Structure 1
Amino acid sequence: MPELFGQSLSRTELERRTGALGQFAGVRSMTLDDGLERGIRMLEFRSGTGLRFTVLVDRAMDIADCEFSGQAIGWHSPAGFRHPGLHEPEGEAGLGWLRSFSGLMVTCGLDHILFMDERDAADFNYAPRKTVRNSIHGRVGAIPARLTGYGEAWDGDRCTLWCEGIVSQGTVFGEHLEMRRRIGIEVGTNTIELHDIVTNRGFYRTPHMFCYHINLGYPLLDAGAEYLAPVTDVVWAGHSGEAYRAQSTGYRRLPGPADRFHEQVWQHEMAPDAEGRVSVALVNDRLGLGFELDVAKSEFPCMYEWQNFQSGHYALGLEPATHHVRGAAFARERGEEILLEHGDSRSYRSRFSILSGTAALAETRARIAAAATQPDDDYPAPSNNHLPLR
């Protein structure tokens, strides 16, 4: 039964108290109508606990806003939630993606993630296309979905709010990849469940790379907030060498915003729990608030930490990924590409949870520490030991 407002209530008991569930929980459709956002279809979810989040149907069904009891969880960048019709994926020498980069979650892929890359296009059997050029983090995040359904689903006294859609990334003489996405949350809970299935609908062998860029902002992210993770090794730091300590920002204990901060990116090797899953979290003890990401190690063997503490851009990114942070060329050199033939699929099941109260934060700390004790030193030496994938 849903736990709402300090009570466990059956469906009948809830219905006695209101003419519609939407009085305190539900999912509804709306369209944004001003500025850069104009024309974007959006679904708004409210679980009844104080958790509210929005799904941008026309932006790959990514999660945009996220707040809990009026406190922001997700990050809003200066780029805003830009309509996909304004997106220029090939612009600015492959960095045009940054002008559409905002929100709690931005999906990267479906055939490419990380920095710009050019690869051989022989598999597409089209002489004028000798290579495929990919911009940063791929194309999928700015593709509108075909919304196949949304609503409330009751199972006895339990109610799930859900939506589902299909995002198709395709071209002539090139890739035809499809992502089927389902997002759900049970009424009375703070855990969002995400299920993606990526399938090659074309008849060319096609690379597949996938990553979630999960972006957390103020007030959850603030000076004194802490990154919790079952880190067994710091594999790589993009700012290693002379720059490693230059900004006085390590991987674990996080600072406030700073002018002229240069982004820092880490890759950590994580220990899975007994069920093969990896949990990482950002916790703010002052607020008694946290956010936990839970993924399967077999689906996302790599995990990055993105620190963008520049004033006006202040964000922390949790990034589960299918490949090492050094990118597509590195994967090809090591024979670690994922190549999908016609009909091949990859499935990804992940959970995003809001942590509320000191007890929830303590339980999460203990559970993550049980998988592995992370380095207490904020500056553990990177090993550059990229373990073999697949």
Structure 2
Amino acid sequence: MAHHTWTHKISTYTQLGGIETAVLDNGLSRGARIAWINTGTGLRYKIVIDRAMDIADAFYNQHSLAWLSHSGISAPQPFSNKGADWLKTFGGGLVTTCGLTHAGGPESDEYGERGLHGAISNIPAAIESVIQPDPIAGKMEMSITGIIKESQALGTQLELRRTISGKLGEAFIHIHDEVSNRGNTTAPHMLLYHCNLGWPLADEGSRLIWNGQWKARDAGPKIFTQGNDFRTCMAPLEEHSGGGEEAAFIDVAADSDGQAVCGLYNAQLGIAVSIRFSKAQLPWLTNWQHWGKGEYVTGLEPGTHPPIGQAKARMQDTLIYLAPGETRQYDLRFEVLHQEKHIGDFLKTHNIAD
């Protein structure tokens, strides 16, 4: 965003972008607090403050980037963490957080009962700060920070401090998370970012970008088989109606700086979305593919684990335990690539021809 083009021509930052908070007032979303973020580049997105500050709608110019479920945004249901109740309030969106103690299917054992993908996405945030840009003073950065508490008296007390930041004139989203154990006992910890990409970004012929050793989640896969082109989005599938789906667990590759990158490229639109994260923080990536009619979505899901659940992670001796007072940090950066050179570099890095 060239400074000289707007110098002395704007009265307020809102003419370029910024953060606008509001409360939804209709249907299932009634009462849910949100924040619209406008980067001034064509990238704009909606943070659902009352749903762990997850990101719902995301657009680049006229193009939607995220898949949104039929129910869309719903107000939080903090006591819905049983069985598959999570699906009843799963709005899709660019980012849905899974955890903080469990990511995977419903399960029950001697350590308790855990619903699908944990409780965190149904917990409202307490907003700590909203920092607006001030372009007239040369400050283009903006951010919103909140605290989300997954806790119970006399039990596990985890806290997620989330900052979502950006910069006027740049088409990126940065999520910085700090997960802390505020209790007096050791707490199990799993975290997965359920990033849901939809039409028109995800469309027939769009290319999924990721590298690493992989294995199909389920026995007898039809998509994730050796020799099959599972990195190209396909037409809607009848067999994916209802609960039909496939997934691959990927030991994601990292560059010399320890950074892993995945994404989706649509040549027809001329845009790509890249997702960058630290391999040390988030060593696993899950690629979820659900090509149902009217439910057409692919997920790229960085995580501390694949979504195998707390019980299996404990059995494999990979479950993370946070000691009282311990904090883990996580960073995720989304970027919209629209210039031919940047897209070319992105594809070349992953040995993919345009």
2:106 corresponds to 1:116 = yes
Query: What is the Cα deviation at residue 81 of structure 1?
Result: 0.5
Asked if the contact 2:286–2:301 (Cα under 8 Å) also holds between the matched residues in 1, the reply is yes
Q: Match for residue 9 of structure 1?
A: 3
Code of the aligned partner of 1:110: L
Which residue of the other structure, out of 230, 235, 259, is the alignment partner of 1:251?
A: 230
In 2, Cα distance between equivalents of 1:322 and 1:228: 20
In 2, Cα distance between equivalents of 1:38 and 1:164: 23
Q: Match for residue 12 of structure 2?
A: 20
Query: What is the Cα deviation at residue 87 of structure 1?
Result: 6.5
Question: Unaligned stretches of 5+ in structure 1?
Answer: 121-130, 375-390
The aligned runs of 1:310-321 (5 Å cut-off) are 310-321=292-303
Q: Match for residue 336 of structure 1?
A: 318
Query: What is the Cα deviation at residue 118 of structure 1?
Result: 2.4
Q: Match for residue 199 of structure 1?
A: 180
The CA deviation string for residues 44-72 of structure 1, in whole angstroms up to 9 with x for no partner, is 11111111101111000001110010100
Code of the aligned partner of 1:144: P
Q: Match for residue 241 of structure 1?
A: 220
The CA deviation string for residues 99-128 of structure 1, in whole angstroms up to 9 with x for no partner, is 1112111000011111122243xxxxxxxx
2:204 corresponds to 1:223 = yes
Asked if the contact 1:87–1:96 (Cα under 8 Å) also holds between the matched residues in 2, the reply is no
Change (3 A) 1:119 1:173: farther
Query: What is the Cα deviation at residue 89 of structure 1?
Result: 2.4
Q: Match for residue 37 of structure 1?
A: 29
In 1, Cα distance between equivalents of 2:56 and 2:224: 33
In 2, Cα distance between equivalents of 1:244 and 1:281: 19
Q: Match for residue 158 of structure 2?
A: 177
In 1, Cα distance between equivalents of 2:190 and 2:313: 10
2:262 corresponds to 1:283 = no
RMSD between superposed Cα atoms in Å: 2.1
* TM-score normalised per structure 2: 0.92
Query: What is the Cα deviation at residue 250 of structure 1?
Result: 4.3
Query: What is the Cα deviation at residue 299 of structure 1?
Result: 0.3
Q: Match for residue 84 of structure 2?
A: 95
Code of the aligned partner of 1:100: T
Change (3 A) 1:260 1:274: same
Code of the aligned partner of 1:221: A
2:189 corresponds to 1:208 = yes
In 2, Cα distance between equivalents of 1:240 and 1:177: 35
After superposing the two structures, state which structure 1 stretch, 214-223 or 332-341, moved more.
332-341
Query: What is the Cα deviation at residue 132 of structure 1?
Result: 1.4
| Number of positions where the alignment pairs a residue of Structure 1 with one of Structure 2 | 347
Asked if the contact 2:223–2:230 (Cα under 8 Å) also holds between the matched residues in 1, the reply is no
Asked if the contact 2:16–2:168 (Cα under 8 Å) also holds between the matched residues in 1, the reply is no
Change (3 A) 1:157 1:258: same
Code of the aligned partner of 1:109: G
In 1, Cα distance between equivalents of 2:84 and 2:235: 26
After superposing the two structures, state which structure 1 stretch, 324-333 or 57-66, moved more.
324-333
In 2, Cα distance between equivalents of 1:46 and 1:224: 29
The CA deviation string for residues 282-312 of structure 1, in whole angstroms up to 9 with x for no partner, is 0001110111110000000111000011111
2:142 corresponds to 1:161 = yes
In 2, Cα distance between equivalents of 1:287 and 1:324: 31
Q: Match for residue 187 of structure 1?
A: 168
1:286 is paired with a residue of what secondary structure?
coil
In 1, Cα distance between equivalents of 2:306 and 2:21: 37
Q: Match for residue 67 of structure 1?
A: 59
1:275 is paired with a residue of what secondary structure?
coil
Q: Match for residue 326 of structure 1?
A: 308
Question: Unaligned stretches of 5+ in structure 2?
Answer: none
Computing the radius of gyration from Cα coordinates, the structure with the larger value is: 1
1:241 is paired with a residue of what secondary structure?
coil
Q: Match for residue 281 of structure 2?
A: 299
Q: Match for residue 380 of structure 1?
A: none
In 2, Cα distance between equivalents of 1:140 and 1:118: 18
Change (3 A) 1:84 1:245: closer
Query: What is the Cα deviation at residue 249 of structure 1?
Result: 7.1
